[in-house]
Amino acid sequence: MNRYITLLRGINVAGKNKLVMADLKAAVSELGFSTVATYLNSGNLILSSDITDPTEISAQIKAMISRNFQVDIPVYTLLQADLETILAHAPVWWGDPDKTIYDNLIFVLPPLSPTDIHDEIGLPKPDYEKVADYENAIFWSFSRKDYQKTNWWSKTANSAVKDGLTIRTANTVRKLAKA
């Protein structure tokens, strides 16, 4: 049985796309997935399945959320082992315990690629932010006090590619990888 991480994009943000995690967990379990757990209120699922194609899991969960909760959102699933591999390739500057820096991992949802994201958002401002790609993920760090001076802050939420990515903090990603 494989262990998966499923990320829901854009739920429980500013009162939009509300999903109660206990209800989501129950509905995902009803689909036949086992050892289902949620983490935080921002759409992080951990589950086990014999299904070998993560896109099939995403499709099943996306359809169920639309049917049961009338919410249409992007859903991204990856093997937990693949998340661990991504984290093993983090740049040395990412995930620093320095509380003045905010570290995120951007998951790029197919069919988009990190190149598509870079083409749309542009280069980071080196004085305020850093980015590095690994496969379909982008490590992104920036100064908390200067976040409004970054190039990526406003553009990740307001660009043409915004629905093709979902962002998690370094702490959240590390916990999901070990859950």
- Give me the amino acid identity at 135: E
Cα–Cα dist 31/61, whole Å: 8
Angle formed by the axes of helices 54-69 and 21-30, nearest 10°: 120
Tens of pLDDT, residues 49-92: 999 999 999 999 999 999 999 999 999 999 999 999 999 999 99
Mean pLDDT over 6-17 rounds to 82
This prediction's pTM? 0.93
Cα–Cα dist 152/128, whole Å: 10
